[in-house]
Protein backbone atom coordinates (compact mmCIF):
# COMPACT_ATOMS: atom_id res chain seq x y z
CA UNK A 1 0.00 0.00 0.00
CA UNK A 2 1.37 3.41 -0.90
CA UNK A 3 0.76 6.43 1.27
CA UNK A 4 -2.60 8.11 0.70
CA UNK A 5 -4.79 10.79 2.21
CA UNK A 6 -6.47 9.49 5.37
CA UNK A 7 -3.73 6.95 6.20
CA UNK A 8 -2.19 6.83 9.65
CA UNK A 9 1.60 6.94 9.57
CA UNK A 10 3.34 3.82 10.83
CA UNK A 11 5.32 3.50 14.00
CA UNK A 12 9.02 3.68 13.15
CA UNK A 13 12.30 4.90 14.58
CA UNK A 14 14.32 7.57 12.81
CA UNK A 15 17.89 8.56 13.63
CA UNK A 16 19.19 12.09 13.98
CA UNK A 17 22.61 13.41 14.90
CA UNK A 18 22.64 14.87 18.39
CA UNK A 19 25.36 16.33 20.57
CA UNK A 20 26.32 12.83 21.73
CA UNK A 21 26.11 11.21 18.27
CA UNK A 22 23.22 9.37 16.60
CA UNK A 23 19.98 9.53 18.59
CA UNK A 24 16.81 7.51 18.09
CA UNK A 25 13.69 9.53 17.36
CA UNK A 26 10.41 7.62 17.55
CA UNK A 27 7.81 8.57 14.95
CA UNK A 28 5.35 9.37 17.75
CA UNK A 29 7.67 12.19 18.85
CA UNK A 30 7.50 13.68 15.36
CA UNK A 31 3.83 13.23 14.49
CA UNK A 32 1.66 12.96 17.59
CA UNK A 33 -0.32 16.14 18.23
CA UNK A 34 1.52 18.09 15.54
CA UNK A 35 1.09 19.25 11.97
CA UNK A 36 4.12 18.05 10.05
CA UNK A 37 5.19 18.79 6.51
CA UNK A 38 7.22 15.75 5.50
CA UNK A 39 9.11 15.31 2.27
CA UNK A 40 11.04 12.20 1.37
CA UNK A 41 13.53 11.58 -1.37
CA UNK A 42 15.84 8.94 -2.85
CA UNK A 43 19.11 10.07 -1.32
CA UNK A 44 21.29 12.72 0.24
CA UNK A 45 23.68 14.49 -2.09
CA UNK A 46 21.90 13.17 -5.20
CA UNK A 47 21.09 15.47 -8.13
CA UNK A 48 17.39 16.34 -8.04
CA UNK A 49 17.25 15.95 -4.27
CA UNK A 50 19.98 18.54 -3.76
CA UNK A 51 19.23 20.97 -6.58
CA UNK A 52 15.42 20.96 -6.58
CA UNK A 53 13.65 19.12 -3.75
CA UNK A 54 15.44 20.46 -0.65
CA UNK A 55 15.63 24.01 -2.06
CA UNK A 56 11.86 23.99 -2.73
CA UNK A 57 11.22 23.40 0.98
CA UNK A 58 13.90 25.88 2.02
CA UNK A 59 11.94 28.49 0.02
CA UNK A 60 8.59 27.50 1.54
CA UNK A 61 9.35 26.41 5.13
CA UNK A 62 8.37 29.76 6.62
CA UNK A 63 5.14 29.80 4.62
CA UNK A 64 4.22 26.31 5.89
CA UNK A 65 4.88 27.41 9.45
CA UNK A 66 2.80 30.57 8.92
CA UNK A 67 -0.07 28.27 7.84
CA UNK A 68 0.20 26.17 11.00
CA UNK A 69 2.91 23.57 10.40
CA UNK A 70 4.81 22.74 13.56
CA UNK A 71 7.76 21.21 11.71
CA UNK A 72 9.15 20.62 8.24
CA UNK A 73 10.95 17.29 8.01
CA UNK A 74 13.09 15.68 5.31
CA UNK A 75 13.38 11.87 5.41
CA UNK A 76 15.87 9.81 3.43
CA UNK A 77 17.09 6.23 3.56
CA UNK A 78 20.60 7.19 4.60
CA UNK A 79 22.57 7.04 7.82
CA UNK A 80 22.46 9.96 10.29
CA UNK A 81 26.09 10.93 9.59
CA UNK A 82 25.32 11.47 5.90
CA UNK A 83 22.12 13.34 6.71
CA UNK A 84 24.03 15.67 9.08
CA UNK A 85 26.71 16.33 6.45
CA UNK A 86 24.01 17.00 3.85
CA UNK A 87 22.19 19.35 6.20
CA UNK A 88 25.46 21.21 6.80
CA UNK A 89 26.13 21.40 3.04
CA UNK A 90 22.66 22.70 2.14
CA UNK A 91 22.00 24.92 5.16
CA UNK A 92 18.53 23.37 5.44
CA UNK A 93 18.36 23.51 9.24
CA UNK A 94 18.93 27.26 9.01
CA UNK A 95 15.73 27.41 6.96
CA UNK A 96 13.85 25.42 9.61
CA UNK A 97 14.05 21.93 8.08
CA UNK A 98 14.85 18.85 10.17
CA UNK A 99 16.75 16.01 8.47
CA UNK A 100 15.89 12.52 9.72
CA UNK A 101 17.56 9.30 8.66
CA UNK A 102 15.50 6.18 7.97
CA UNK A 103 18.56 3.91 7.73
CA UNK A 104 16.73 0.58 7.54
CA UNK A 105 13.89 1.94 5.39
CA UNK A 106 11.48 1.13 8.22
CA UNK A 107 9.27 4.19 7.80
CA UNK A 108 9.66 4.19 4.01
CA UNK A 109 8.54 0.56 3.72
CA UNK A 110 5.75 1.22 6.23
CA UNK A 111 4.23 3.86 3.94
CA UNK A 112 4.82 1.70 0.84
CA UNK A 113 7.17 4.16 -0.83
CA UNK A 114 10.34 2.07 -1.14
CA UNK A 115 12.02 1.22 -4.44
CA UNK A 116 15.32 -0.27 -5.51
CA UNK A 117 17.65 0.60 -8.39
CA UNK A 118 20.73 -1.59 -7.88
CA UNK A 119 22.66 -0.23 -10.89
CA UNK A 120 22.99 3.12 -9.08
CA UNK A 121 23.36 1.62 -5.59
CA UNK A 122 19.82 2.30 -4.38
CA UNK A 123 18.31 -0.52 -2.32
CA UNK A 124 15.02 0.06 -0.50
CA UNK A 125 15.32 3.81 -1.00
CA UNK A 126 12.41 6.22 -0.84
CA UNK A 127 10.39 7.37 -3.79
CA UNK A 128 10.07 11.14 -4.04
CA UNK A 129 6.95 12.37 -2.25
CA UNK A 130 5.72 15.02 0.16
CA UNK A 131 2.79 15.10 2.55
CA UNK A 132 1.06 17.04 5.26
CA UNK A 133 0.48 14.95 8.36
CA UNK A 134 -1.87 16.14 11.08
CA UNK A 135 -1.66 14.26 14.39
CA UNK A 136 -0.36 11.16 12.62
CA UNK A 137 -2.87 11.18 9.76
CA UNK A 138 -2.05 12.08 6.16
CA UNK A 139 -4.03 15.18 5.15
CA UNK A 140 -2.45 15.74 1.72
CA UNK A 141 0.13 13.96 -0.40
CA UNK A 142 2.02 14.53 -3.66
CA UNK A 143 4.00 11.71 -5.29
CA UNK A 144 6.26 12.12 -8.30
CA UNK A 145 6.23 9.40 -10.97
CA UNK A 146 9.99 8.86 -11.06
CA UNK A 147 13.01 9.74 -8.91
CA UNK A 148 14.30 12.43 -11.28
CA UNK A 149 11.09 14.50 -11.15
CA UNK A 150 10.27 17.06 -8.50
CA UNK A 151 6.88 18.48 -9.40
CA UNK A 152 4.02 17.07 -7.31
CA UNK A 153 6.31 16.71 -4.29
CA UNK A 154 7.89 20.17 -4.46
CA UNK A 155 7.39 22.61 -1.61
CA UNK A 156 5.31 24.98 -3.72
CA UNK A 157 2.96 22.18 -4.90
CA UNK A 158 2.38 20.92 -1.35
CA UNK A 159 1.96 24.45 0.00
CA UNK A 160 -0.96 24.91 -2.39
CA UNK A 161 -2.68 21.95 -0.64
CA UNK A 162 -2.31 23.34 2.89
CA distance 83 to 75: 9
pLDDT digits 0-9 by tens, 28-57: 999 999 999 999 999 999 999 999 999 999
Residue 50 within any structural domain of the chain: yes
Among this protein's residues, is 49 annotated catalytic? yes
Catalytic residue among 49, 74, 131, 150: 49
Strand partners, 23: 16
Residue 2 within any structural domain of the chain: no
User: What is the chain's mean pLDDT, rounded?
Assistant: 96
Which residues have a Cβ under 8 Å from the Cβ of 4 and sit 6 or more positions away? 138, 141
pLDDT digits 0-9 by tens, 52-73: 999 999 999 999 999 999 999 9
Residue 3 within any structural domain of the chain: no
pLDDT band at 91 (very low <50, low <70, confident <90, very high): very high
Count Cβ neighbours within 10 Å for each residue of 89-121 and write b for 16 or more, e otherwise: ebebeebebbbbbbbebbbbbbbebbbeeeeee
Number of domains in the chain: 1
Amino acid sequence: MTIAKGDKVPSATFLKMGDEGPAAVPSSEIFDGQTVVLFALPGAFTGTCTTAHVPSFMRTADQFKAKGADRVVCVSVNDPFVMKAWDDATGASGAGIEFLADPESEFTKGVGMNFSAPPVGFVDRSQRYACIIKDGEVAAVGVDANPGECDLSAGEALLAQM
